[in-house]
């Protein structure tokens, strides 16, 4: 599995855009499940970590870019 580092607060791009047309999601909860929120329409979805990692395309904006 490719190492895609992500963390709370990151803006991520998924393999499929949300039906609203936006493909930028904010990670708002981390744990066994990951909750992401569409930055376009505020819709949020809960995904098991494994599903999330499969659907994740890339991290657009890291919450800790300054490191
Ligand atoms: Zn949306």
The domain of 50 spans 11-60
Does the residue 53 lie in any domain? Answer: yes
Ligand 1 center from residue 64 Cα (angstroms): 24
Q: How far is the CA of 37 from the centre of ligand 1 (A)?
A: 8
CA of 66 to the centre of ligand 1 (A): 28
Residue 28 has pLDDT above 50, yes or no: yes
pLDDT the model gives residue 59:
95
Is residue 15 in a domain?
yes
Q: What is the pTM of this model?
A: 0.87
Q: How many domains does the chain have?
A: 1
Classify residue 18: in a domain, yes or no.
Answer: yes
pLDDT of residue 67: 56
Residue 1 belongs to a domain: no
In a domain, 3, yes or no: no
28 CA from centroid of ligand 1 (Å): 15
In a domain, 67, yes or no: no
Please give the mean pLDDT across all residues of the chain.
91
* Beta-carbon contacts of residue 37 (< 8 Å; ≥ 6 apart): 25, 26, 28, 43, 44
> What is the whole-number distance in angstroms between the Cα of residue 1 and the centre of ligand 1?
27
């Amino acid at each position: 599995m490719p190492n895609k580092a992500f963390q709370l607060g990151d803006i991520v791009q998924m393999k499929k855009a949300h039906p609203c047309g936006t493909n930028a999601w904010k990670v708002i909860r981390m744990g066994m499940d990951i909750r992401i929120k569409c930055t376009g329409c505020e819709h949020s979805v809960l995904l098991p970590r494994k599903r999330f990692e499969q659907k994740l395309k890339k991290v657009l904006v890291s919450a800790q870019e300054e490191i």
